[in-house]
């Protein structure tokens, strides 16, 4: 499994490297198909755009930790903190090809299928036998596009998907 320093880089640099690779969360495994990158005070769409708040605080912390938040009162979303400490950013996992459930397209559906909730918030994606990512393949071809579901759109092409 990859270690913490791997996540200590800009989100948009890491995202394509993780596409097609193996993610493990407790009993579940799958291959990452779709990731969005988020930054900090230069990224209006990011939760960490302005100040540190109770919710986004972890985005300002050490890389490689799990950031979970609830959206629209119904769905949890799964993120991994990026950038060195004090520089906020995250990777937003949107879709996975899961060995058990098949393709799960949608961040809310992923958390529902894998039972991810706030208990995962603040846990590690490194040095953790239960949660982590293993790079066991050559880099895969991918496409980029605009991030979806955001209104403060800055037109950045920070959505990364495995090419069909």
Partner DNA sequence: CGCAAGATTATT
Partner DNA sequence: ATAATCTTGCGA
Q: Which residues contact 145 (CB under 8 A, 6 or more apart)?
A: 157, 159, 161
Residue 109 interacts with DNA (CB under 7 A): yes or no: yes
Sequence-ordered strand ranges (E) for 12-152: 22-25, 28-38, 66-71, 75-81, 90-98, 102-105, 131-134, 142-145
Interface stretch with DNA, choices 2-10, 23-31, 71-79, 132-140 (CB under 7 A)? 71-79
Using CB under 7 A, pick the residue from 7, 31, 64, 90 that binds DNA. 90
Interface stretch with DNA, choices 19-27, 42-50, 122-130, 156-164 (CB under 7 A)? 42-50
Instruction: Compute the least distance from the CB of residue 43 to DNA, in Å.
Output: 8
Instruction: Compute the least distance from the CB of residue 97 to DNA, in Å.
Output: 15
Q: Which three-class secondary structure state does DSSP give residue 135?
A: coil
Instruction: Compute the least distance from the CB of residue 159 to DNA, in Å.
Output: 10
How many H-runs (helices) and E-runs (strands) does the chain carry? Answer: 2, 9
Whole-number Å distance between alpha carbons of 41 and 70 = 22
**Which is nearer to DNA, 54 or 129 (by Cβ)?**
54
Site size for DNA, by CB under 7 A?
A: 36
**Which is nearer to DNA, 31 or 46 (by Cβ)?**
46
DSSP run (H or E) holding 13: helix 11-18
- Using CB under 7 A as the criterion, which residues of the chain lie in contact with DNA when the complex forms? 36, 38, 45-48, 50-51, 53-56, 59, 67, 69-75, 77, 79, 90, 92, 106-110, 147-152
């Amino acid at each position: 499994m990859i270690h913490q320093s791997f996540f200590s880089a800009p989100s948009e640099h890491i995202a394509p490297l993780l596409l097609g690779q193996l993610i493990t969360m407790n009993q579940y495994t799958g291959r990452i198909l779709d990731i969005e990158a988020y930054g900090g005070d230069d990224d209006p769409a990011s939760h960490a755009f302005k100040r540190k708040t109770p919710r986004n605080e972890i985005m300002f912390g050490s890389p490689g930790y799990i950031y979970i938040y609830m959206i629209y009162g119904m769905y949890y979303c799964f993120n991994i903190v990026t950038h060195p400490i004090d520089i906020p950013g995250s990777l937003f996992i949107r879709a996975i090809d899961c060995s058990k459930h098949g393709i799960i397209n949608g961040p809310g559906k992923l958390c529902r299928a894998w039972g991810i909730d706030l208990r995962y918030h603040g846990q590690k994606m490194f040095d953790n036998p239960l949660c982590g990512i293993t790079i066991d393949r050559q880099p895969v071809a991918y496409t980029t596009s605009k991030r979806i579901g955001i209104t403060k759109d800055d037109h950045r092409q920070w959505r990364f998907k495995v090419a069909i």
